[in-house]
Structure 1
Amino acid sequence: MASGIHVLCVDDDPDIRSVTAATLERSRSEFVVSTANSGRDGLSRLDGTESEPERPAIDCIVSDYEMPGMDGLEFLAAVRERDPEMPFLLFTGTGSEAIAREAISAGVTDYLQKGTGTDQYVVLANRIENAVEKRRAERARRESERELERYRTLVETVDDPMYVLDADGRCTIINDAFCDLLGVDRDRIVGEPIAEFISGEALERGAKTVYHLHESDRASDRFEFTIGTEDGTERVGEANVTALTDDDGRFAGSTAVVRDITARKRRERELARYERIVDLAPIALFVLDADATITWCNDEFADAFTEEIDALIGTPFPELIERGYYDERVISKYTDEVRALLSSSVDRTRAKYQVRFQSPDGEERIHDVHTELLPLEDGEFVGTIHAIRDITRRRRSQRELERQNDRLEEFASVVSHDLRNPLNVARGTLELHAEDCPQSGESIERVRWSLQRMDDLIDRLLSLARHGRTIGEQTPISLSTSVHRAWNAVDTADATLECDVDTTIVADEGRLQALLENLFRNAVEHGSTGSPSQAQENSVQHGSTDSRPQADDGVEHGSTSSQRGNRADDTVEHGPTSPDSSTEQDRSGVTVTVTVGPLEADASDDRPIRGFYVADDGSGLDSSVDELFEFGYTTAEDGTGFGLAIVEGIAEAHGWAVTARNGDDGGARFEISGVDVRDDRSGST
């Protein structure tokens, strides 16, 4: 039953007005009755409720028909002009079918004749109540429709995806943003279960969230869900959901505003990865604010102090200087570097400098510091981030290496001077003895070979001592040119060269030629293919060289015996033959071809392999590949075991890798990979 119904009773008879008002108020406690003595007075009362908001609004009018000046139907017409929906009951003592038809045609809500008893007042009260309830219900319906339309308009115009589901989980209202999020047209979604467009896990999570909202007093809650769009991409959404109920409190569905958090989740994952990397990185990191106070540091930084990490955070950096960890000069160095980074005349984004750190155990350590500015806020400096690497061991190793290099240089000088002089004396004395005792030819030859062998060993030791695994300046050079120069510098006898490279690489030219020379000697001297008797006579396996370093190695050469022969185009001296062979090794009938070519990519890999190879068509490798590059390893009686070790050292000094294997057509194949190859002479990579 309705409450607070304000009734305006209009009648020119004061007794009837009084009786009607009293009877209605007694019949319904919620009735409040006002009276007017004419239609014009009633209009004044009706208009007064609009101009005086404190007066209660009229919910229903009960009017007599026959009134002076303005009858009931005229009064009805005037009321309808003001409020077309106002319940208007014609309560008249004069009744006729004609009046009833006219009243109904004029839009009266109800028509009722007055009687002599109180029964008609009971009927009047019921009809008043029904009329008011009907109007209020209609008003509520229209208001609900207007509210729904406002919500619909809101849903359609907001940028965030929104949807409304009924009690069965079907989409009843969606906006364009939600369609864009799903990547589906509106016609595909409206009326369909939301389960068609989200994962089962997301559906279960959403149902649980809505259920708990309906069972609790909370207005809204949120949950995350994954959306698989029709184009195959996957999006992550966060739904802020509200449960809907009907007038009786029963569950009627849900509505949600969705935020696409795909980018945020991606950033969170990236941040988590970065945090993990920072935690695992063996580098000390810390952050200073604009006042040089430590605002963050990792465990690697804190491990160098006696203070715990919580105690370090919030500590002004100057206090670490006062505690003796750093020298006072650190402050001026830091200030100068930060000022330079902030200067518009400097295009550097990072400062690098070294500081000395006094560890708690009293040991002085050297720290390599990298400093960067934190992003400026409104153009203002807010602090710096620092990465520290302890280079104490590296500095010690560098100093030790420098001392070793100095000792090696001294050793090379001693070898060059103090060993070559007596060796030259021995060689000269031997030649005099050969002239005096020509019958001792075989013995003389053996001694001559031994002296030459000593000379070769000295050359190799000098090369290792002076060059080791170091290289000079690297420049773009023609690989083909270096190949032919190295070939001409080696005693190749009857061997032939096939060069299939015409490219530019970046290398130390002198060291590259030394690498090629050693590979060529190895191929020529150990790749011979002749008669079985000759192969047995050679009895040499791959894995060593008997060659001497060349002039571009920077090696000092002593005097040579008259038995050495040089080709017209040779630029270096050649090593001796075995004492069991003739002075010029007999290679008649031997066919050795040395091939130089570019590396080819594996069929399973579309990326090119940067490098080249040197191969021969000899008998191949019999030794273990792992042993080939060891210093001193050789299977030849007159080999030094240095040649391939030098090849590996030169390659590693360039950052290259050298590997050995048997070629597809026989013979040994040495591959040099990781080379900086330029596609043309202009230097482009």
Structure 2
Amino acid sequence: MSESRRLLQVDSDDAVREQTATVVREATAFEYEGVSTAQAALSRLSSSTFDCVVTAAQLPERDGVALLDSIRAEHDDVAVVFCDDVSDPTVPASALNRGADGYVHRDEEDWPQELLERVHDAARTRRERRDHRRASSILDSLFEQVPEHIHLYVKDETGTHIRVTDTLFDADMLLGKPDYEVVGVPPGECETYQDDLEVIDTGERVVDREERSPLYEKWFSTWKVPWRDDGSVAGLIGFTEDITERKRYEQRLERLTERFELAVAVTGVGVVDWDLNSRDVNFHGAAAAILGLDDRATLSPSTLRDQVHPEDVNAIDRLVDPGDASEIDVEFRVPSVAGWRWVQLTGECRTDEAGVPERVIGIVADTTERKERQRARTRHRKRITALHDVAAALQHCDTRTAVCERTIEAADDVLAFDQCAIMLREGDRLPIEASSEGLDVDAIDPLAVDEGLAGQCFQQGSASTAPDIRENDIARYRDDCRSVLSVPVGEHGVFQAISAEVDHFDADDLELAELLLTHTATALTRLDRERELERQTERLQRQNDRLDRFASIVSHDLRNPLEVARGHLDLSEADDEHLDRVAAMHERMDELLEDLLTLAREGDRVTDTERIELESLAAQCWQSVETDGATLDVAGTLSFGADPSGVQQLLENLYRNSVEHAATADDPSVTIRVGPLEDGFFLEDDGPGIAPEIRDRIFEPGFSTDETGTGYGLSIVAEIAESHDWTISVGESDDGGVRFEITGVDVVGCE
């Protein structure tokens, strides 16, 4: 299938593009695409491949000549033909001088046909020029990369060298000369020259002609092929290879070819060729060394059986008699200086016509390292599984000591750390919480949190190994310790394992230790949370007990006298408005006591609320407080949901606080102002205010600046606010008095 050709037209005239597209699609095999601007054309050229660009001379924002310059700079293989109706005679000359491949005027009726001819010619010329450059580039690369033992050359139709490599022969000696001039003999007596003429005249190749050169006393192999130009032979291309070494060792290589066919692609292995009938054996490469045998000439199956590990004798039986299978793949162990070496032999057991094994040919490889890696991976997986089991066990430990002791057991059993310890922080020290039996804890003084390798590990929060502590300035030196592994136990402390061997701990030890101590830190954190939860539970229980006692005292010691006072009031027959107010106050006190007892016994969160109007409630509460000399100013109203009794007690306590603390003997008057906020309300006065240094204490139960005060008024205010999930804050009013702001209120409406 021929490669498709593509044409891109750049013209702002839609009609011209449409007419060109119709002609191109009907009369050519070009794929047509049209754009209206030079920028669009460059964008398409950057993302797609085109053989030719047809452009107008006049374009929006950028003329055709400028577009031509851009195409030549980035896409020189693309042909560019101008097609326009401009009358300026300098435009075609300018375009052609700048590298255009043609110019077509649209002032003639047959301009579309002329355009097609110019496009075909321009595209073909550019393609031929590109192919020529590519072929020339390939030839240049070929001549540059020819190895030293090959001589590459090109000769013209007369057999004269026109291009040669400077390998094997002197290029200056060959260039411009046929072979007979180089050798210095008549043309008819030069065989290589006659070969050249035959290739050029007949077009037949010379393939791998081997001949010995008396001039150089070497063997050469020559290849010659005709070089054609426009269908006719214009010369030849040939190469000559120095095969002297190949000829010298050819016979020997032929004998060894079969033996090394299986080993040519393998390094670090050996090849064995074993005749089972004659017992003759040939070892090649590292075969004898891998098998632990001397470079012997004969080998019997019984000798090899005696050589291998007793458990692997059956592998030798399968080697010399594989049964119906001819392929061999067995593994066995042979003695080595370090113990036993694993060997793998893969190959073929050949049989005679009767099916009796007669010859073993195979590759021998030392697989000890691979076996060790397999065993190491298996051990690693088992240790990780064991550590996950330890993690589950740690979650059932109920003390810090138990967690640490279980960790030490795992470090000993799973990680094989026979000397290790866990140090948990206590203040500024790191005393040992648990250690292995092989560690003399009494001889070790607790470290400071910033002392030694343990302190460094704790401060940095990263695990590390010290291959030799005698070369470490931070480590504390011990006679029985040379290498140390340190792992942080979260924020709780440090785990350390020591060894008397230098560089005892490897990367796997560090990785697994980090995994184990991560589980340990998780367990210790769990215990800390549980202990904190227990302490909080105990505190809450004590608080509840105190509340119960308080409720009992209030219920008995305060309510009983109140009931007595109410009884005497009921017996009074006087009709006095003061007695009526006393009766109302008794009812109010009873309500307050009932609410206080409910709050103490049933919880501190308000669940039942009613809609409250701030203005009316503020005025109502004002009537319940001794306010001689004080003035109330309600600045707007607010509708919100809350417990009416609680809010009433809150406002009354704040009123009393202002009246009692803002009024003075000299000036008993005080103005108290109540008003709405965006999400709550405020209460402020124009008294002396509260000093900043004690503002954070005024809500504490029992705190008061007045020796006669109980210190519970504002604490009750804070509890009521908290029971509604409100926030209460204290500050200074514009008049210098105190200002309380209650926010977080469930506002319904505000005026």
Q: TM-score, normalised by structure 1?
A: 0.33
Identify, as 1 or 2, the structure richer in strand. 2
